[in-house]
Amino acid sequence: MSASVRIPTILRTYTGGEKEVKADGGTIAELIDSLEQDHPGLKARVLDDTGALRRFVNVYVGDDDVRFIGGLEAEVPDGAQVSIIPAVAGGSSPNPDQRI
């Protein structure tokens, strides 16, 4: 099964600048292995040392977060759109004494 995988800007160095690539696999784990074959180094940016999804990386099949539909064993239907999205955190509260 083949899927289109959207690659975030920060990981495009592994895909030669491509923002979307094709990968094969019936599960997220198989899809990530396929990505690694074609784009070495990408897997280490998505999975941690234990082989689990990194805490601050979100992966979606369509609109579904894989953490809620089976994790790495989540099914990837043929033709699916998979998105790898780095979590965004941080920011600051405005200083109430600071004039805008």
Q: Quick check: helix, strand or coil at residue 32? A: helix
The H or E element containing residue 81 is: strand 81-86
How confident is the model at residue 98, as a pLDDT?
Answer: 46
Residue 91 lies in a domain: no
pLDDT (0 to 100) of residue 46: 97
Please check whether residue 93 lies inside any domain of the structure: no
pLDDT tens for each residue of 13-29: 999 999 999 999 999 99
* pTM for the whole structure: 0.85
Report percent pLDDT > 90 for the chain: 85
CATH at 16: 3.10.20.30
Instruction: Work out how many domains the chain is built from and give that number.
Output: 1
Residue 36 domain-assigned (yes or no): yes
Q: Tokens 């895909």 identify what position?
A: 15
By the 8 A CB rule, do 19 and 44 touch? no
pLDDT greater than 90 at residue 93: no
More confident residue, 88 or 17: 17
92: pLDDT strictly greater than 60: no
Answer whether residue 23 is part of any domain.
yes
Q: Residue 69: exposed, middle, or buried by beta-carbon count in 10 A (0-12, 13-18, 19+)? A: middle
How many other C-beta atoms lie within 10 A of the C-beta of residue 13? 13
28-41 pLDDT tens trace: 999 999 999 999 99
Does residue 99 sit within a domain? Answer: no
- Write a three-state SS string for 39-72: CCCHHHHHECCCCCECCCEEEEECCEEHHHCCHH
The answer as to whether 98 is a domain residue is no
Sign of the CA dihedral running 29, 32, 38, 40: negative
Domain region containing 33: 2-86
pLDDT given for residue 87 in this prediction = 85
